[in-house]
Structure formats: C-alpha cells, structure tokens
Amino acid sequence: MNDITRLTAAELADKLAAGEVSAVEATQAHLDRIAAVDGDVHAFLHVNEHALDAASDIDRRRAAGEQLGPVAGVPLAIKDVLVTTDMPSTSGSRILEGYMSPFDATVVARSRVAGLVPLGKTNMDEFAMGSSTEHSAYGPTHNPWDLERIPGGSGGGSAAAVAAFEAPLALGSDTGGSIRQPAHVTGTVGMKPTYGGVSRYGAIALASSLDQVGPVTRTVLDAGLLHDVIGGHDPHDSTSLTDDWPSFADVAREGARGEVLKGLKVGVITELPDSGFQPGVAESFRASLEILQAHGAEIIEVSAPHFEYGVAAYYLILPAEASSNLAKFDSVRFGMRVDVPGGTVEDVMAATRDAGFGDEVKRRVILGTYALSAGYYDAYYGSAQKVRTLIQQDFTTAFGQVDVIATPSAPTTAFKIGEKIDDPLQMYLNDLTTIPANLAGVPGISIPSGLASDDGLPVGIQFLAPAREDARLYRVGAALEAALVDSWGGPLLGRAPVLGGAR
C-alpha cells in the first residue's frame, strides 16, 4: 500500500502545504488504492474521472502562490445522497440511475472551494434507509475488517472507503445513525452535527426533521477539519442555523491535550444496561469509561426513561416524512420512467415506482402513508411526536446534570451480510442508541473505543452534547481518542491489518 493513503487528512494536508506531496500524487495514490481494493470492498458507486484535473488545478494554484485553505489537495469521498454536477447522484436507488444534478449540494460546493478533491460517490442503502448498506440497489458494500460482514449503514460506503484507506475524508448523512453506526462497525470516526449546523441543500431528503450531513474520517481532528469546511449558515437551507461556530479542528487539537477530561461530567444512561449489548461491546464501553475516569472525568448515572421508545417513534416519524419526500419520484420530474403502452399517468407512475424502488423503500412508503392517513394520524404520527418531545425533555434534564452523555454507538459489532436482511425489526434495533440524537436535534460523535474481546471487531463509543455544543464533542472525543491511541500504542486502523492482513 502506498504510504500516502495511510496518512490522516491532517498529516496529508501538512505535506501538501510543505510541498512534499502534490495534490496529483495524493489523488493518484488514492485512485490506485481504489483500483486495488474496491473490487472487494465496493465502497464506491462512481469514481470521479475528473479527480486528477481537480488535483492539478490545486497544484497549479499553489505553485502560482495562491493562498489555499488548510485542506486543499486532500481527496474526499462523497456519499451518493449528496448531489453533484459532474458525477451521477443515485441515493443508492435504481429510480435515479444515471441521474445528473444541475447543481452541487452546498457541502460539495464548499468542499470544492476549499480545494478538496472529489474522488467519487459512495454506496449507501437506498435513500439512506438501512443499517447495513445491503439495501443499495447496486449491491452491498463489504466491511474492510471482514469482507463477509456489513460496513454499517446507510453510509457504509463512506465508512468503508475511509477504513480501507481509499479516502482520508468522506461525507455522510445521518437521519437515525447513518454516520455514527457505520463508524462504530468500521473503526472510524463519524460526527452528526447539531440539527441545522451543516446545510442539507442538495442532500436528497429522507426525513427532513431528522437529516444531518457530517464528516466520516479516521481521526477526530480530521472530522473537525472537514466540519470546518462544510459547516455554517447556508441561505439555501431554511433550517440552517445562523450561529458563528468555532474552528472544530482547533478545538480538536486543544482537546487532544487531555485537560478537558479533568472534572468532566460524563452521563451514562440508567435505562441502557450492559445486558442490552453484545458482551464485547459493553466491555469496550466500560473500559473507555475507566480511561475517562483515570483522566479525571466523573461518571454519573442519568435517567432517560423515554429513550427506549425512540426506535418506535422514529419508525413512525421517518416513514411519514419519507413517504412525502419520495412522492417527487413520480416518473415525470426525476429519474427513470417505465412506459405503459395505453396506460394512464397513474399506471406509468405505479409501474415506475414498482420497478425503481426496492423492498425497504416500499415498506416505509406504505408505513408512512398509513401513519399519516386521516383515521390514524393522531394515533400514530401524533403519538410519535409526543414521544419525541419526551425524549427531548429527557435530554434537557440529563444535560442539567452532566456535560456529555456516553453510550456504546450500537448494540453489536458488524454482523454478517445476509444475517438481518429479512428481519426489518432486528435491522431497526441497530440504531437504538443513535436515534435519540436525531429526534432531539443534538450532536453526536462516534469514535473507535477498541476491538471487541469476543469477536475482535471494532466498537465505537458515542458522545452526545446539548444542541449547538458540537465543540464539546470534538474536545472530549479528541481527548479520549488520544488516551486510547496511547493505550493501544497506535491507531486502531493502523494496528489491525486491513484487507489481506491476518486480523
């Protein structure tokens, strides 16, 4: 493997700025890596044929003495839920096969302005519905730690690309966990910002009151660097916050020094007992808490009695919003059309949606339409919204007592491809600990906490903070990461051979 692909984004950015590596070399190294391993991993749906042009433009501008941003020349993988003008955007669906957007998503446009080099579009569950990337219309992505296992979902492509050293940075989206759960199962870092902290303009909507775009990386600092590029107010997104945000990269650098852990109050949720988790996951979580304590943090039990209803409420709110958002795929406005000779417009629409949508999408559209229908609205959608309010109140109460809440990022390590595909409920339960953050709009980060003692697969720890306190997550995440990497004697992904190595 080329050494360039082993560098973190921060390290690569330093080498680019110092002129030790050119953007073309960095991009070529990652394209070579993709060519070598993506046949096995299948992280990418599309590799950008313009990547080297974009890279040589950065090199030319740097050579001309132009002042470039801190990550100029670093390659970036983009989840296919984000629209791009120069590559197809499918959201993992057959219905959008080959679809070319007339505009770039704001996060993509900002990435280009920052000089990040788009490497390609990454695989995902269709319309971001899933926890395993098996619901992609284009075939599953494989976990680089064990190719027979899932890389998480819906953003399994972005997480696998970063974990397999095919890209140092990736963009993801998180509606109920799709950045954090893939990070958990691939040994990477995933950050879901505060609702409204990063623009969703040009993110193909799943559930608009839950969706957030965010970074997928190998280190907390790298997540901060990417967040700095994509975050901040966007007039094109009516839900975008107008806050001034600090530099999350600076915050992560400061956090890595570790003092932040002294006196930090870390909440653990009483209603999430260890028994709900795979033993190796619970054990890794406890070990991380001990490290936090050893560095001066205080572990405090907090009650969040409504968390356990999060999954149920989510699977009413999400399908309701999704059924409405996906109504635009009507055979007229976007994507594919199945002709029905002599048929009505409804016949064409039905035939198109039948052929263009996969089973999981159909399941959720039907569920959502039902939950919103006149006779059932109050009983289902109305009740779910009330539960949502109770979960928000749980957070408010808990954050009155602690600075951050910690949970395992998911109940189990990566499961086998095919294991849960026919059992939607088991699939949904994967997001037990990630969903509450989306329902409440608060930020959440997952960082690697180690390898599970029972199966040797990666485990993540999640930190949650009050809305707008994203910086706190970078500070705490970087501090724990530094302590853990110290205890491992090097980063997790560097320690365990990825692809072809004997794990």
Q: Mapping DSSP to helix (H, G, I), strand (E, B) and coil, where does residue 397 land?
A: helix
Q: How far is CA 57 from the centre of its chain?
A: 29
Question: Are the CB atoms for 471 and 450 separated by under 8 Å?
Answer: no
Pick one of 126, 394, 403, 431: the residue that binds ligand GLN (CB under 6 A): 431
Task: Report the first-to-last Cα separation within the chain, whole angstroms.
Answer: 17
Pick one of 177, 187, 190, 441: the residue that binds ligand GLN (CB under 6 A): 177
Burial readout 147-177 (b: 16 or more C-beta within 10 A, e: otherwise) = bebbbbbbbbbbbbbbbbbbbbbbbbbbbbb
If one asks whether residue 174 binds ligand GLN (CB under 6 A), the answer comes out as yes
Question: Which is closer to ligand GLN, CB of 172 or CB of 450?
Answer: 172
Total interface residues for ligand GLN by CB under 6 A: 14
Least distance (Å) between residue 177 CB and ligand GLN: 5
Contacts of 94 (CB under 8 A, 6+ apart): 137, 336, 355, 356, 357, 358
Question: Which is closer to ligand GLN, CB of 22 or CB of 136?
Answer: 136
Least distance (Å) between residue 246 CB and ligand GLN: 26
CA distance 490 to 496: 10
Q: How far is CA 266 from the centre of its chain?
A: 23
Least distance (Å) between residue 258 CB and ligand GLN: 31
Catalytic residues: 79, 154, 178
- What track of x and - describes contact with ligand GLN for positions 293 through 332 (by CB under 6 A)? -------------------------x--------------
Least distance (Å) between residue 346 CB and ligand GLN: 28
Cis peptide before 56 (omega within 30 of 0): no
Question: Which is closer to ligand GLN, CB of 22 or CB of 158?
Answer: 158
If one asks whether residue 446 binds ligand GLN (CB under 6 A), the answer comes out as no
CA distance 420 to 183: 19
If one asks whether residue 23 binds ligand GLN (CB under 6 A), the answer comes out as no
Pick one of 37, 129, 367, 498: the residue that binds ligand GLN (CB under 6 A): 129
Question: Which is closer to ligand GLN, CB of 153 or CB of 193?
Answer: 153
Kindly indicate which of the ranges 61-69, 108-116, 157-165, 170-178 contains the residues binding ligand GLN, using the contact rule CB under 6 A: 170-178
Q: With CA atoms as reference, report the closest residue to 404 among 479, 458, 459.
A: 479
Question: Which is closer to ligand GLN, CB of 101 or CB of 133?
Answer: 133
Burial readout 302-336 (b: 16 or more C-beta within 10 A, e: otherwise) = bebebbebbbebbbbbbbbbbbbbbeebbbeeebb
Binding site for ligand GLN (CB under 6 A): 128-131, 153-154, 174-178, 206, 318, 431
